[in-house]
Amino acid sequence: MMRGMELPGLPGPLGIPEKLIRGLIDEIASLRRALDQIEPALESVRRVEVIAEEAIPVAERGIVVIERLIATIDSATEQIDPMIESMNAAQAQVDPLIKSVDEARAQVDPLIRTLDKALPALERAVTMTQPLEGSVERLGRALDRLPGGAASRRGRIGGPGDGSDEGETKD
């Protein structure tokens, strides 16, 4: 049989088993320890609440800034779209020009190769004619002195085919 516990200040035995009372006391002690741990946590929650209250206006200003950025991006997108369309139209005009340039280059390339091949011969011809320049000038002066040359025509008003009378001389 279980023995009842007598509590001081209460008349007679209560008839509550001592084991049950000790279990209740242990549970109350556990609740007290839990309460001791909850109080600091509750204080942390209160500090977080204060910080959150201070952060709300900052977050609201951040939202306003983000909304403005979105509006700016939308506006820029509206401006960029026509630019892209213009660039696409310009590209459509440039593509045929590029094709024409490529075709012209295809025609010019063989000419350049031909000129490159002919250049040494031309250089040799120039080299050969340079010593003859003085001879050609002397030959021209000699021809001018012959009858019917430039020296004999200087006494006339004009030369053949200039519309003047061929036999007419200067006064």
Phi–psi pair at 162, nearest 5 degrees: -95, 5
Least confident of 9-23, 74-88, 122-136: 9-23
At 70 the pLDDT is 95
Least confident of 43-52, 106-115, 137-146: 137-146
Q: Are 18 and 5 in contact (CB under 8 A)?
A: yes
pLDDT tens per residue, range 31-43: 988 888 888 888 9
At 26 the pLDDT is 92
Query: pTM for this structure?
Result: 0.34
Non-local (6+) Cβ contacts of 6 within 8 A are 12, 13, 14
Q: What angle do CA 4, 10, 15 make, to 5 degrees?
A: 20
Using alpha carbons only, how large is the chain's radius of gyration in Å?
59
Non-local (6+) Cβ contacts of 106 within 8 A are none
At 66 the pLDDT is 96
At 59 the pLDDT is 92
Average pLDDT, the chain: 81
pLDDT: is 91 or 168 the higher one? 91
